[in-house]
Amino acid sequence: MKKVLVGLVSVVLLVAFLVAGCSSPAPKTAQQAPAAVADSKPVDHSKLPTKGIGTSISTDVKAKKPYKIAIIVKNTTNPFMVKSIAGTQKAAKDMGFECISLSPARQDSIDDQVKIMEDAIQMGVNGIILHPIDSNGIMPAIRKAEAANIPVAVIGTPAAKETFLRSGVDYTETGVLITKAVAELIGKKGKLIIIEGPPGAQNAIERLQGIKTALKDYPDIQVVASQTANFKRTEGMQVTENLLQKYKDVNAIIGANDESALGAAQAVKAAGLSGKVVIGGFDGNQDGSAAIKSGEMAVSYNTDPFGSTYLAAAYIVQFLNDGTKPPKFFVPFPSALDDPIINAKNIDNYISNIAWWK
């Protein structure tokens, strides 16, 4: 038995050394920025093929033939993915094409998503709107689609190389805008806690960069803590509870998404600090909107999956009609030009006319 124990311990140690030895250079390699985020200036909105954002979005583009366009998502449990499908379906109705929605049977599984891409190509679709599960892993499948002359528009997580189009929000921009909004609300000075997204997740990394970039303009705001909650409400609550023990005088909290921000809001309420802490999040989802209406959260960013896929569909239809390409590879949407910040002032209008989750 002793020998076994020694053996086990040495195995564990070996693994630990392996991890320790290799983990230091790893982040460098892991954060390979996707090829095309450099030029992310918003496109002039008069040139977009669509008008409005959220559920109020509309277009004049009509499909000349009954094209088949596939929307491929990451899973069917996240409302963001569900509304991406809904956006494409509305686009199909408005523009007159056939929408095929596909999702991996195993949630968030990159190899299943690759298989689905291949299946879609096999079905003879004319275009693909895609939420890639992984920037790198999806590339071979995208190449196959392109080899079959099928335009691929990606939303959210970008692909590792330029494709026909990238739409959806520019995560860096969202970080910048929310930070500015929060900073104005606390009078450009005070103590800030950042609740980060999952380590390694591309969108979370870019969003954090945006937040840090924006903070450079506010030297009086001090970041007292920055910890991860993996985009989850429960973890957001736990992390915030712990931090509030230490920093009772915090002025603002920015969560990397609405869920983690909502967790923070619960912790703030439990600590009896309601109204004293400004909380910002991202997504403008249903619970987030309710929290802004009730004042528990201050601001959020309308990341609008509904409008993003709708816009992507419009570009694909235009291209299929007459070969018109998007003005550039990355068309951020909604961007600063679309007035994406949700706050106490516009929350009623947002909920009744725009909200993507309805």
Find the part of the chain contacting another protein (CB under 8 A) among 15-23, 247-255, 291-299, 349-357: 15-23
Q: Which is nearer to another protein, 50 or 228 (CB)?
A: 228
* φ and ψ of 186, to 5 deg: -105, 15
* Cα–chain center distance at 18: 33
Among 111, 217, 249, 348, binds another protein (CB under 8 A): 111
Distance, CA of 116 to CA of 72 (rounded, Å) = 8
Instruction: For 9-28, give one letter per residue: b (16+ CB within 10 A) or e.
Output: eeeeeeeeeeeeeeeeeeee
Stretch that binds another protein, among 13-21, 162-170, 243-251, 302-310 (CB under 8 A): 13-21
Rounded Cα gap, residues 341 and 346, in angstroms: 9
Q: Does 116 bind another protein (CB under 8 A)?
A: yes
Tokens matching residue 59: 């277009």
One residue of 110, 224, 273, 337 binding another protein per CB under 8 A: 110
Closest CB 354 distance from another protein, rounded Å? 27
The first and second tokens of residue 326, run together, are 């998007």
2 near another protein, judged by CB under 8 A: no
Stretch 16-75 residues interacting with another protein (CB under 8 A): 18-19, 22-23, 26-27, 29-32
Q: How many helices (H) and strands (E) does the chain have?
A: 12, 13
For the segment 141-170, give every residue that binds another protein (CB under 8 A). Answer: 160
Contact flag: residue 269 with another protein (CB under 8 A): no
Among 119, 184, 217, 348, binds another protein (CB under 8 A): 119
Burial 323-354 (b: 16+ CB within 10 A, else e): eeebeebbbbbbbeebebbbeeeebeebbeeb
What is the maximum span of the chain, computed from C-alpha positions, in angstroms? 76
Task: Give CA–CA dist 232/228, Å, rounded.
Answer: 9
The single residue among 126, 202, 260, 335 that binds another protein, judged by CB under 8 A, is 202
100 binds another protein (CB under 8 A): yes
Encoded tokens for 196:
């980060």
Which of 9, 13, 15, 270 forms a contact with another protein (CB under 8 A)? 15
Q: Interface with another protein by CB under 8 A: which residues?
A: 3-4, 7-8, 11-12, 15, 18-19, 22-23, 26-27, 29-32, 76, 100-106, 109-112, 114-116, 118-120, 122-124, 134-137, 139-140, 160, 198-202
